[in-house]
Chain A
């Protein structure tokens, strides 16, 4: 309890001083265009705090010991709060919120007991939704040894954090359901081998979590003139899952019904192409 109170008080003390005097939070010297606060997007790159957001397509590759599966389609939202210092680098807190759709996902070795030969012990045709969030701390730097202009201002971001992935099975063919039933499948659960038994609803899901590593390369436009700052970036994320949790949906509070080791060594690699603007 004391720890929580300490966290809250610390946050208030951190927040209160700069916003008690707006000049401290957004020094005029660092904000050559002070009227930018009334604009939708910030103009010209300047020091101090900044907030970036963007959207774009994404591609997710699910990799296990047995198979790599590419998502059919995906998109993401990028959020980033940072502090740019000394006109050289930034320290950031951010996240990617991603949706991907897997069509005809193939799951090998669903029993975990039988060998995978001649197409046996394999399930195909499972359409799956994937929602995942990656939260990270990062540092961003301008690429050195380049002549920066308004149209060419490349950056590099290195990030590390933690990610949550949630899978919903959209559709399981009747033949697969029969196969499972025949096999007496009930509790042997692996990554997506976690398949529905009695009482499984469409809102129930599987959640994996684990550390995230990645990097972004991109270009910031209009950083040096008076126009709205925007950027394009390509991000590669690797998510190293530790476990799988079976989640039973509740009205407000979901419940964990089981959790399992990531014995198939399932990981995810994601590519995000992001276009966005600087909001402040």
Chain B
């Protein structure tokens, strides 16, 4: 019993996102069953090594409308905070309340450098994507809500200093999703290994996996062996 408790505590430290996300959620059991890996964590726990065998994203099917708008609001607040901090000098220089409401209906093709249009907006889009994924959205859902977040940023935040940009509206969610899928894949692969350094790198790549109630987790799975058929799972307190 102490051994199991110790392993649980160890995994709790290493996998804070997983601990939270293993809280019972309606409809999740079926998802976990369907997405099961051939090997599993519980089986690994039996040999006392705490070995991870699969670290994956789980799509939640029970996200309500209220929770979706809460997530949108969290991103929106984050966008305001980022904008006010990072572009403080520009806001002080050219920003105005008049800009804020007149620029809204003047979208255009911007003149920005490719560093901003490609690199910075890709990173922003990736952040949106990974955040929504960590909340349990499907790939399509994360993309679409990332697009809405970008829409809100372009039309209600950045207008203080500049007009909404068509390039940004397109490239941020598209490039962000592409980058996000790739980073998520790499991060999950790293977090599915048995190496602590890889875990650290995995969380650096996708820090949203550390958020409470994250939809990333070590999964349980059915077991089929030569001696019988069963289902392995972990209960945490």
Contacts and interface: CB of A to CB of B under 8 A. Distances in A.
B78 interface: no
A133 B113 CA distance: 12
Nearest to B113: A249
Contact of A279 (B109, B144, B152, B178): B178
Contacts of B161: 252-253
A249 B112 CA distance: 8
Q: How many interface residues does chain B have, given as a range?
A: 35 or more
Contacts of B116: 252
Contacts, number: 130
A135 B173 CA distance: 14
Contacts of A256: 111
Nearest to B112: A254
Given A1-B105, A19-B137, A37-B139, A11 B148 contact: yes
Contacts of B193: none
Interface string A174-209: 000000000000000000000000000001010101
Interface string A1-44: 10110011001100110111111011000000011011010000
Q: Which of A1, A19, A22, A255 has the most CB of B within 10 A?
A: A19
A8 B56 CA distance: 33
B138 to A, nearest CB: 6
Contacts of B109: 162, 164, 209
Nearest to B100: A1
Contacts of B59: 22, 37
B185 A15 contact: no
A53 interface: yes
B208 interface: no
Given A51-B177, A279-B178, A15 B144 contact: yes
A49 interface: yes
A34 B155 contact: no
B167 interface: yes
Nearest to B144: A15
A166 B137 contact: no
Contacts of A22: 59, 61, 138, 141
Given A3-B105, A25-B141, A8 B151 contact: yes
Contacts of A135: 166-167, 170
Given A4-B155, A19-B137, A49-B140, A35 B34 contact: yes
Contact of B152 (A8, A95, A205): A8
A249 B174 CA distance: 25
A3 B101 CA distance: 11
17 contacts: A11-B147, A11-B151, A15-B145, A15-B147, A18-B144, A19-B138, A51-B140, A51-B177, A79-B174, A81-B143, A93-B170, A131-B114, A135-B170, A166-B114, A209-B109, A254-B111, A254-B112
Minimum-distance CB pairs A-B, first 3 = A4-B104, A19-B141, A280-B139
